[in-house]
Amino acid sequence: MEDRLIIRPAVAEDVSLILHFVRRLAEYEKLGDQVTASEEGLRHALFGPRPEAEVLLAFVGDMPVGFAVYFHNFSTFLGRRGLWLEDIFIEPVQRGKGYGKALLLTLARIAHERGCGRFEWAALDWNTPAWDFYRSLGATPMEEWTMFRVTGAALEKLARL
Going by the DSSP 8-state scheme, the letter that residue 61 receives in this structure is T
- Eight-state DSSP code of residue 50: S
Residue 112 host element (H or E):
helix 99-113
E strand map for 52-144: 54-60, 63-75, 80-90, 119-121
Say if CB 70 and CB 107 are below 8 A apart: yes
Confirm whether 99 is a catalytic residue: no
Instruction: From the candidates 28, 70, 99, 134, give the one annotated as an active-site residue.
Output: 134
Q: Given its phi and psi angles, is residue 41 left (phi above 0), alpha (psi -120 to 50 degrees) or beta? A: alpha
Length of the chain: 161
How far is residue 81's CA from residue 110's CA, in Å, rounded to a whole number? 12
**How far is residue 46's CA from residue 53's CA, in Å, rounded to a whole number?**
6
Positions annotated as catalytic residues are 134
